[in-house]
Structure 1
Amino acid sequence: MTARDGAGGRRRSSGGALRGLFGSLAVRCLAVLAAYALALVGVLMGAGALSEAVFEGAFPSMETVLERQGDLSRDRFGALTGGDLSNCLVVVFDSDGRRLYASSREAAEKIRASDLDVIGDASDGLFYEVFEEPAGDGVRHRVMLCGYDAEDDSKVVSSWCVLDESLKVVEGPLFSGRGSLTPREFGLIKGVYDGRMSISRLDYENDGGDPRTLVLAAPIVSDAGYARVADVASRLWLLAVPLVLLLTAAAALALGRLVRRSARPLDRAIAACRDADARGGAGPVESSRAAGVPAELAVVYDNFRDLMSRLREARDDQRRMVASVSHDLKTPLTVIRGYAQALCEGLVPPDRVDAYHRVIHERALAAADLLEEFSAYARMEHPEHALELVRADVRDLVAASVDEARPLAEQRGCPLETSVGTRGLPALVDEALLRRLLLNLVGNAVEHNPSGTRVRVSCAAEGGRVRVVVADSGVGIPPDLAPHVFEPFVTENTARSTDGGTGLGLTIARRAAELMGGSVGLSTTPEAPWVTEFVVDLPLDAEGEG
């Protein structure tokens, strides 16, 4: 095999595995559920993003400015106008304190370069904290310049000072060169501009490496304003509810459609069998793979196919049985009717009357035997057929059956031999069934072989079972007929003449053995001089043997 052949085989194997995987109903349902989950996550994430956008639009911050970082690096300050920043004051200074941009006249007038050292730097993570402390002469303000440690992210105080009630620096290195702060500067330190806006600064460099300082004054979030925005955001979440319900309904419909599609092959198979039954045909049902049945339903589908096959076989057997009964009874009944009519009309010479009576009697017996054989077959095939099991010595039953069959064997000129041994062979058997089984096998050997054929019946214990062998030295069974000898209505005589039998003898023998827990088989290697050899195995009753 070449490498190309091996690769092709692997591709075919992997392709078959993938087809088998996606042919599973569970995998298909999981795919639908996964798609539903992804869509649900998408809706929730979309609602969350919209809600976040509402909050960001209502309460802009330095993060809102950083979203325009590409424009800032190119000094395209026009991007800082309008949109989320429409209610904000934005001013940009260079390293020399020159104003490069102001979002409005108010921003240009009220935010100055001299204010930068008292505005918290968002870029370095520095911020001011202000605490009020009671003192003997009033209230003092402790101002701390804070940042975060790079290793453990803990808060670190870089510098500090204490202001008295008049905002004079009375202690600490922070703002030591100023002596005091103005109320405006103190407000900027607290991050509050004009009592209604928060203020912060951002130091950065543009693409040319030039330092820039951006100051942002954004509206302070009031409780009422926050409540209004939160109400809008919650309504956005409410809008997601219909989408979630729609997705849920779509997923349910998809799952229902998958289940219905998975059951269609079974529905089609049932419909095909009904149509075939109405037409009297066989109604072939394709395999589960060819029908596209999911893996989970393949067993049910195949069991249905097997059941339909068995039902067709049973129906065919029933039809063959009816046809066989009518055919096999037609000849003897026709003879009986013709001979009886001749006797009634006085058309038979006196010296032939006895002969006519004998023929009528023989044909009546033949018809009775046919009916008995058909009746036995029907009884044994009935699911409620009851056995009368008794513990018996198989040797005695074999000897009795051989004695019963001996007159027929002598009449046909076939020597009948027995070999039952001396050791008891106890078994739980239905004596009537075993008798019919043995008579059918012996009768088959005698009636279907020429005169002079030796027939031998033997029994012995082998491996915990009782083995009965019926062998003959006749013409044998045609090779094409051998695999079918135990099937009902199979005979060597295709014309089904009266002497050909019903074709039920071996079928009844096999069924009788099965009902008693045994089996009947045709040996493929009979020992000389035997040509045909039927082997019957029955369970040995160990308790009876002891």
Structure 2
Amino acid sequence: MKKEKHQTLFRMIMGRVVIMLGIIVALTAVMLIATNEIDSTENMWHRVDRFIAEAQPDLKAARYQALSDSKRLKKQDAFDVVDPSGRVLYSSSGRTKKYGKGYLAYIPSYDKDAFYTLYHIRNKGYLLVYGDQDAIREAAVLDRSRNVQYTTARRPRKRLSKKTVKLLIDHADTLFQKYAFTTAKGEKRYLLLHLDGSALYDQTQRDIQRTVILIGYGLGVFLTVLIGGYTLTKRVTKPIRQLETGMTRFSEGSREPIDAIQGPTEVASAVRTFNKMNATIVRAEADNRELVAQKQRMTADLSHDLKTPVTVIQGYLNAMQDHLIPEADYPKYLQIMSDKTQALGDLINQISTYNKLDHPEVQLHFEPADMSEFVRSYFAGIYSQMETAGHEILDDIPEGQIAVDLDRAQMNRVLDNLVNNSLKHTPPGTHFFALLQQTADRAVLVVGDDGPGLSEDLAPHIFEPFVMGDQSRTTGSGSGLGLAIVHSIVEKHGGTIALAGKADRRRVRETFQIAIEKGTFFRIDLPLHEGEA
């Protein structure tokens, strides 16, 4: 059978929280990595910086062709190498036309985020703007003839040529900058960088990617909390619902236990407690039903036992009053009625005794006594009675003292009832046995006979009130309360009485060397007097 595993509610909650935090940390790490990846792929200036740094040896050695093989440049990028006059010394795009010295003056030096834009204002002129992503740094206003009307920076030429304007307009979508360097021979040169500026300043794609990542991250965190909370709630509420369902069925009369659950220790403990309570109530209800049935049997048996002698007495009295019985026979029938009256009185006395002993407030009068001496004296007192009835007493009583607390009168009643039952229900020649011994904390008395014994149906109910054999019930030779009274008296002594088991019967056979096939034996266990071992 698989062993149930339970956790406390606190550990269960903390376990779920740790798992959810672990998932959230993992999602955060993935989000940061993805965001950094986007930033690194979009950071053009980092790429260009490394291109220029790696190109220094080739720039000094004038190995411009080698620059075209750099992995730092994208397909959309290009570069030109020119002298101070604007003459093209090398072009990755195959350009051969000269830029011109004046045009070079309007190309901004290499700087992160720097750009320029030439706006053609129809029929008005031109607006040349220099700046970065944060603000406009410089501006120049040109008329329709390309004359510089106003500028915020010192630039050469008051008038731009058509060629210069055309070059500036052609590079409107390109981030165009110049990087000045000196060759190993001391020659001043310019590296003109034609960089695709659309990706740099197009925030839409970057914002979309970041938004998607953030939405995915938020959705992941939300689903983590939702699923974690749902599984935790389900694991906690499912056993609670099982317990609630079981309690509802219990209130409706069902006594089925709740099946084993997998859930918090607290709930599992409550289920186990409920099942124990349910089992206790089931046993109590079964005992109550048995008690009710027993009371019904007692009422029926008592009615029968009272009605039988009363009916006989009433019948004979009516017959005598109607002169149906000859006067010569009156003594015989009067003796019968006297016997029935005596039996009726004995029955009433037995009922009274049983009711008194059964009352919880009735206290016996105990005094220290030697159980060996008490049993020995009792059987010595009934020896002649047993001999007259044709019964033989065989006993094994220790010589040493066995100290117990006894109500002598009541314990005498116990032995009287056991002996009288044996005399009534066994034939002459029956042996009556009495064995007494002391155990660690008990005085054990085994008494019985080797008569015909009890029926198997009667044995389990032998100590119940008004239980007796069919023959006794028919003849009215017993009240059915004797053994019930015996049981009550022994219990009030703090002891127990039961039909003797196989071990006790074997001890009787071994002690007296007599073959016993059937018989009825009782074992009485009494606690030793306090302080006795």
Distance in 2 between the 1:540 and 1:377 partners? Answer: 22
Change (3 A) 1:241 1:230: same
Do the aligned partners of residues 100 and 365 (structure 1) sit closer, same or farther apart at CA in structure 2, a change above 3 Å counting?
same
| Aligned match of 2:411 | 434
Shift of 1:297: 6.9
* Alignment partner, residue 146 of structure 1: none
Query: Does the 8 A contact of 1:373 with 1:504 survive in 2?
Result: no
The letter for the 1-side match of 2:375 is: V
> What CA deviation, in whole Å up to 9, does each residue of 1:106-132 have, x standing for no partner?
x324899999xxxxxxxxxxxxxxxxx
Change (3 A) 1:98 1:368: same
Q: Does 1:331 align with 2:304?
A: yes
Aligned to 1:368: 348
Name the SS of the counterpart of 1:529 in structure 2: coil
Say which SS state the counterpart of residue 523 (structure 2) adopts.
strand
Contact 1:427 1:538 (8 Å CA) reproduced? yes
> Residue 425 of structure 1 aligns with which residue?
402
Distance 1:254 1:421, change over 3 A: closer
Structure 1, 421-430 or 396-405: larger mean CA deviation: 396-405
Match in the other structure for 1:201: none
Deviation at 1:505, TM superposition (A): 1.2
The answer to whether residue 222 in structure 2 is matched with residue 246 in structure 1 is no
User: Could you tell me which residue of structure 2 aligns to residue 502 of structure 1?
Assistant: 480
Backbone CA RMSD of aligned residues: 5.9
- Which residue does 2:321 correspond to in 1? 346
Residue 254 (structure 1) shift: 0.9
Alignment check: 8 A CA contact 2:487 2:496 kept: no
* 1:45 maps to 2:26: yes
Distance in structure 1 (CA, Å) of the matches to 2:191 and 2:385 = 135
User: What fraction of aligned residue pairs are identical, expressed as a percent?
Assistant: 15
1:260 aligns with 2:240: yes
* 1:318 Cα deviation after fit: 0.9
Amino acid of the structure 2 residue aligned with 1:321: Q
- The answer to whether the 8 Å contact 1:471/1:530 transfers is no
Give yes or no for contact 2:496–2:526 (8 Å, CA) kept in 1: yes
The partner residue of 1:355 within 332, 335, 341 is: 335
Q: Deviations over 1:300-327 (max 9, x none)?
A: 4664465245324422431232123212
TM-score (norm 2): 0.55
- How many pairs are equivalent? 402
What is the distance in 1 between the residues matched to 2:439 and 2:47? Answer: 108
Structure 2 residue identity aligned to 1:338? T
Q: Which residue of 1 is the match for residue 524 of structure 2?
A: 536
* Deviations 1:269-321 (CA, angstroms, capped at 9, x unpaired): 7468x35xxxxxxx7x57x8xx4456867854664465245324422431232
Q: TM-score, normalised by structure 1?
A: 0.53
3-state SS of paired residue (1:474): coil
Contact 1:393 1:427 in 2 (8 A): yes
Q: Pick which of 440-449 and 488-497 moved more.
A: 488-497
Cα 1:257–1:508, aligned 2, differ >3 Å: closer, same or farther?
farther
1:459 to 425, 436, 455: 436
CA–CA distance in 2 between the matches of 1:364 and 1:233?
101
By how many angstroms is 1:471 displaced?
3.2
509-518 vs 333-342, greater mean Cα deviation:
509-518
Unaligned runs of 5+ in 2: 56-63, 83-89, 93-179, 263-267
- 1:177 CA displacement: 5.1
Structure 1: tracts of 5 or more residues without a match: 1-15, 65-83, 116-167, 170-174, 198-216, 220-224, 276-282
2:114 maps to what in 1?
A: none
Q: CA deviation at 1:338?
A: 2.8
Q: Does 1:524 align with 2:494?
A: no
Alignment of 1:218-237 (within 5 A): none
- Cα separation, partners in 2 of 1:484 and 1:55, compared to 1, 3 Å: same
**Per the alignment, do residues 446 and 262 of structure 1 end up closer, same or farther by CA in structure 2, a change over 3 Å counting?**
farther
Report what 1:203 is aligned to.
none
1:378-417 deviation line (CA, Å, top 9, x unaligned): 44xx6x8766543222234435654787798578554556
Give yes or no for contact 1:32–1:255 (8 Å, CA) kept in 2: no
- When residues 462 and 103 of structure 1 are mapped into structure 2, their CA distance, relative to the original with a 3 A threshold, is closer
Evaluate the alpha carbon distance shift between residue 377 and residue 387 of structure 1 in structure 2; reply closer, same or farther with a 3 A threshold.
closer
Give the CA deviation at 1:358. Answer: 1.1
Alpha-carbon separation, structure 1, partners of 2:497 and 2:225? 64
Q: 1:376 deviation in Å? A: 6.4
| 1:461/1:100 CA distance change after superposition, 3 Å | closer
The alpha-carbon distance between structure 1 residues 302 and 257, as it changes in their structure 2 partners (threshold 3 A), is closer
Letter in 1 for 2:26: M
